[in-house]
């Protein structure tokens, strides 16, 4: 009997140790997410780093504009809600009819929106870099080709541009610049397309059921009058959000 009690006690101690480790890891993860942003540093002596940081700032600005507007920098096909134009991802204004998906290739649309927004800003980054370096180096450059790619929890910007710095016997040649940043924008797009597809097929999206299977994201919907649903997707870990509208299976007034 005493031996059994000792075994049970050891098992309980092991469980407590495991629980304590889980709690410590959770606390460390929480504070890691809450760490203040590092100050922005533009180092012209490191062209790769300079362009990367400048591009990151431009992408962050683009996301800040398009995320509350349903994926458009300049919204088209939208409804004004809470002072912001929210783009319809699924729309039909006829009574009883299901909506039609307006952005079946939302990921590619977001990539294009970001690319068009940041291209002139990145070009200005290069001009600024050249001005800072031309007092010490001879600078030779060619035209820029820029593309944005969205991946799960990541945004990548690839910039093809020949950039040559030379001074006496020192020559630096760079042909490509690259920027990677963590972002849930791709995930937002995937969820947004799923909501639009279900609205187009069933006139309904089960947000509670979705969150049971995908607890990392919070989906809320607000009904405006008898016509529109305003959806907000939030990543719980970062509180980043993406908002858009749908209009489906419209009912006649007073129905």
Q: Output the CA torsion sign for 88, 108, 212, 23.
A: negative
Asked if residues 245 and 86 have their Cβ atoms less than 8 Å apart, the reply is yes
pLDDT in tens, 206-225: 988 899 988 999 999 999 87
Strands 228-235 and 217-224, sheet pairing? antiparallel
Within 8 A by CB and 6+ apart from 37, the residues are: none
Name the residue with higher pLDDT: 115 or 209: 115
Percent of the chain with pLDDT over 70: 82
Q: Per the confidence metrics, is the pTM higher than 0.85? A: no
Which two structure tokens, joined as six digits, stand for 89? Answer: 């991802």
Asked if residues 98 and 200 have their Cβ atoms less than 8 Å apart, the reply is yes
Category of 240 on φ-ψ map: left (φ > 0), alpha (ψ -120 to 50) or beta? beta
> How many CB atoms neighbour CB 207 within 10 A?
17
pLDDT in tens, 180-191: 999 999 999 999
Domain ranges of the chain: 1-35, 47-247
Distance CA 69, CA 84 (A): 7
Residue with tokens 């927004």: 117
Distance CA 111, CA 98 (A): 28
Distance CA 72, CA 87 (A): 7
- Give the chain's largest Cα–Cα span: 86
Name the residue with higher pLDDT: 176 or 31: 176
Determine the average pLDDT of the residues in 29-58. 69
pLDDT in tens, 233-249: 999 999 999 999 999 98
Q: In the chain, which ranges are continuous DSSP H helix?
A: 2-33, 47-66, 106-133, 185-202, 207-213
Determine the average pLDDT of the residues in 10-16. 54
Asked if residues 190 and 107 have their Cβ atoms less than 8 Å apart, the reply is yes
Category of 178 on φ-ψ map: left (φ > 0), alpha (ψ -120 to 50) or beta? beta
């Amino acid at each position: 009997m005493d031996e059994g009690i000792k075994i049970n006690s050891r098992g309980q101690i092991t469980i407590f140790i495991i629980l304590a480790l889980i709690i410590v890891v959770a606390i460390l993860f929480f504070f890691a997410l809450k760490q203040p942003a590092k100050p922005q540093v533009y180092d012209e002596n490191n062209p790769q780093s300079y362009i990367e940081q400048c591009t990151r700032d431009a992408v962050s600005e683009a996301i800040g504009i398009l995320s509350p507007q349903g994926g458009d920098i300049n919204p088209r096909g939208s409804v004004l809600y809470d002072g912001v134009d929210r783009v319809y991802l699924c729309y039909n204004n006829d009574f009883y009819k299901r909506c039609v998906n307006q952005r079946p290739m939302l990921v590619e649309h977001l990539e294009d929106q970001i690319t068009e927004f940041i291209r002139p800003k990145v070009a200005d980054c290069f001009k600024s870099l050249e001005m800072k370096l031309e007092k010490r180096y001879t600078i030779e450059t060619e035209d820029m080709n820029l593309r944005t790619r969205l991946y799960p929890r990541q945004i990548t910007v690839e910039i093809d541009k020949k950039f040559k710095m030379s001074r006496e016997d020192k020559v630096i040649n760079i042909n490509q610049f690259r920027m990677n940043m963590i972002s849930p924008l791709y995930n937002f797009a995937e969820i947004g397309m799923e909501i639009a597809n279900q609205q187009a097929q069933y006139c309904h999206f089960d947000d509670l059921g979705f969150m049971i299977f995908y607890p990392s994201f919070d989906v809320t919907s607000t009904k405006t009058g008898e016509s529109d649903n305003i959806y907000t997707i939030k990543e719980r870990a970062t509180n980043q959000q993406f908002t858009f509208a749908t209009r489906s299976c419209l009912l006649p007034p007073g129905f």
